[in-house]
Every structure is written in C-alpha cells, then in structure tokens.
Chains A and B, each alone.
Chain A
Amino acid sequence: EPEVTQTPSHQVTQMGQEVILRCVPISNHLYFYWYRQILGQKVEFLVSFYNNEISEKSEIFDDQFSVERPDGSNFTLKIRSTKLEDSAMYFCASRGTSGISYEQYFGPGTRLTVT
C-alpha cells in the first residue's frame, strides 16, 4: 500500500540553525501539506501546496518557514532560523484528486528538537 514517507525521523538542532524536513508524498497525489504537533497538543495545520505554489497557510507559517517541491517526488519544509518553540513533531500529508475526496494521508513524522 502506498504511503507517505518522511526523513529524518528525528532531528536535533541548535537554536538559530536552519533545518530542512523532507517528505515523499504518495506518488499520484497532487496536494501536499505540513502539520505540526507540539508534545501533548493538537495537530495544527501549517501550509497546503498545490501546483507548485502555496494555496493556504496558517498564522504559524511565518517568514521563517518555506516549502518547496524541488523535484517530482520530494516535498520539503525549511525553517530558516529555528526557535525553541519550533520543537514539535512535523507531519507531511498528501491527497489525490479523485472526485471530491478530501482524505489526507499522513507520514510518520519528523521529531524536531531545538536546543
């Protein structure tokens, strides 16, 4: 069964450093998302991406964040200058375009620890 994959599974970085989180969405999907989950809190939407541009973003997704689809298979989230409060699980998700399906499939997540 096709699945979303994410690398690395755990990333430790120092405050102020740049990080790039990588995702490989399900191969025939065209809509891509990033969510995050701070420990013990809700899963929160960050950004949606379609047709090589951001279609929607949340207030959390400020100028420190960017997304890119550098090739036909990868989807990345970059945080330019990490803060302590960026420590969270980051989930990539994707969905197809069949009918009106809004089913989003999530990857296993990258645990980001900012020290």
Chain B
Amino acid sequence: QKEVEQDPGPLSVPEGAIVSLNCTYSNSAFQYFMWYRQYSRKGPELLMYTYSSGNKEDGRFTAQVDKSSKYISLFIRDSQPSDSATYLCAMSARNTDKLIFGTGTRLQVFP
C-alpha cells in the first residue's frame, strides 16, 4: 500500500462549483497535513496547514483531517478559473521534517 494516495484526476468543474480534493494515507504516525497548489513547471505553493484532526478554514478553502479514517480533504468554494492547477497533499510525522507528498490532483475550472 502506498504511503499517501491521491487521485491524479483530471477533475474538471464549472466556475462557481464546490471542489473536493482528497488523500488517504497509511502511516498512523502522520501528524501534520498540508495542501500545496502547483502550477505547471512551478514550485509548490503552500495553501493550508493543519495539525492533527479537525477543520481549518481560510477564505474559500477548507481543510479537513480525519485521522481515524486516515483521510484528508481540501474543499474549494466558488471555484475560479485561476484555481486551475495541480493540488498536492503532503504530510509528515512528529520528529521529522520529511514531507511525503501525494501524486497531485489536476484541477481544471472552466468559465
């Protein structure tokens, strides 16, 4: 079983839709969970960071972590064409800085 699994997509939605992006993981030691956005041939841009279980909201973005199910989600409300990018989940365990990334989900928001 892969340590972090993420559906590569592509996911194509109309402008204004609510987008749900998800990752599952197998390592119960993961404590820190991040979502990055990556435009083509650019560096990952940090969007959201959460520690342990729960929800975190920032503008149109909401991150959820369910440690009991080993499942994390990123919701994007009122999606815009500028949200079109690849979204990467990343996580790490306590006492390590090594981030383990998912493969990324390619999102396309069409006008």
A residues contacting B by CB (< 8 A) are 4, 6, 31, 33, 35, 41-45, 48, 55-56, 58, 89, 91, 95, 100-109, 111
Contacts and interface: CB of A to CB of B under 8 A. Distances in A.
A98 to B, nearest CB: 12
Interface of B: 32, 34, 36, 41-46, 49, 51, 88, 90, 92, 96-104
B41 A48 contact: no
Given A100-B51, A102-B49, A111 B43 contact: no
Given A106-B45, A107-B43, A56 B98 contact: yes
A91 B101 CA distance: 13
A50 to B, nearest CB: 8
Given A43-B88, A102-B92, A91 B44 contact: yes
Contact of B44 (A55, A101, A106): A106
A3 to B, nearest CB: 9
B110 to A, nearest CB: 23
A104 B99 contact: yes
Nearest to B103: A42
Nearest to A102: B32
A101 B51 CA distance: 9
